[in-house]
Amino acid sequence: MKTGILAQQSGKENPTNLLSNGDFECWTAGTAVAPDGWTLYTDGNGATGRDTVESKGKLGSYCARLSSVASTLTEIYFGGVATPKGITYWKNRKITFSCWVWCADAATARLDINTGAGGVLNSSYHTGSSTWELITLSTTIPNGADEVTPILVLVGNSTAYFDGAICVEGESAFAYADKPAGEGVWKDYFATSTIVGWQAGKTGTIYVKKIGKTVFVSYAILGTSDSATTTFTLPYTGATGNVYDLGMAWDNGGPYVVGKILLPAGDAVVTLNKDVTGAAFTNSGTKYVFGNFFYESA
């Protein structure tokens, strides 16, 4: 029998979490919508939102809450697990999805993995014990799969709480961990960030990586201005203390000047100004901002 170390070396076991924001600490779009990186689906009046550790959280400060009524199906799912390596890599490989779940009703809360044409794979249900239970789904991705999508599921008239979601290659249920440094640490949040100040058709990147509590950001956004206010959101909230830094800015014909960056304490919204005095941008013409900065997350 292989040891854990040898299994990892063989490529059959890998403790790297394939999910971002599995601890549900990031909610830049609001606390009554799906957490960053996750998407809500319901076939009725189901809802999702953030709950605090004082109320129900298992890890960190927050957890994800799912609620539904009658026979409603409510779920939040994380897409794109198979994208970096491609779906062919995952076919016939073991994968393990686990999450802490709290629920007061039996047979309502579970985990799924949707493999598309390969079907939906289900875990056992939470027992309804009104305590935190670690629910685990370990399975082989079928040869007919065309996606790998982990899903947190609630069915029926109930409420459940989820925290510490982790999905790894192999059949071992590792303890929760965010993506470690050295593997997939840079991610472009441009498509999911809430960006204010440009018309449709803007282009750019907002690369973010997190090592421990330190968050590194490299951004570049170009397009036609439609607002003097210029902001973008990040996936990690800043710790106490405002963060000020400098970047480069081009406003309505230039020239390039040094602009000011502000990330307020306890916030995840970055404000950009066109110069170091804090002046606002023009609400027309070409606007281009780029720069790098880092900060401590909450």
Q: Kindly list the distances between the CA atom of residue 8 and the CA atoms of 14, 19, 154, 206, in Å, as whole numbers in the listed order.
A: 6, 19, 33, 32
Please report the pLDDT score of residue 9 as a whole number.
Answer: 36
Q: Tell me how far apart the alpha carbons of residues 11 and 89 are, in angstroms, rounded to a whole number.
A: 12
Q: Kindly list the distances between the CA atom of residue 132 and the CA atoms of 64, 65, 68, 70, 158, in Å, as whole numbers in the listed order.
A: 13, 13, 19, 23, 16
Please report the pLDDT score of residue 3 as a whole number.
Answer: 35
Please report the pLDDT score of residue 237 as a whole number.
Answer: 86
Domains parsed from the chain with CATH numbers: 4-169 (2.60.120.260), 187-296 (2.60.40)
Please report the pLDDT score of residue 198 as a whole number.
Answer: 97
Please report the pLDDT score of residue 5 as a whole number.
Answer: 35
How far is CA 69 from its chain centroid?
26
Do residues 231 and 271 make contact, with C-beta atoms less than 8 angstroms apart? yes
Q: Tell me how far apart the alpha carbons of residues 156 and 125 are, in angstroms, rounded to a whole number.
A: 12
Please report the pLDDT score of residue 257 as a whole number.
Answer: 95
Q: Tell me how far apart the alpha carbons of residues 198 and 136 are, in angstroms, rounded to a whole number.
A: 43
Q: Tell me how far apart the alpha carbons of residues 112 and 75 are, in angstroms, rounded to a whole number.
A: 10
Q: Name the residue among 197, 195, 196, 194 with its Cα closest to residue 226.
A: 197
Please report the pLDDT score of residue 82 as a whole number.
Answer: 92
Please report the pLDDT score of residue 191 as a whole number.
Answer: 85
Please report the pLDDT score of residue 212 as a whole number.
Answer: 75
Structure tokens at 64: 């994800």
Tell me the pLDDT of the chain (298 aa) as tens digits.
333 333 333 346 788 899 988 999 888 888 999 999 999 999 988 999 999 865 666 888 889 999 998 888 999 999 989 988 899 999 999 999 999 999 999 999 999 999 999 999 999 999 999 999 999 999 999 999 999 999 999 999 999 999 999 999 998 877 777 665 444 568 888 988 999 999 999 999 999 988 878 889 999 999 999 999 999 999 888 887 899 999 999 999 889 999 999 999 989 999 999 999 999 999 999 999 999 999 998 7
Sign of the CA dihedral with 211 first, then 266, 27, and 216 last:
negative
pTM: 0.63
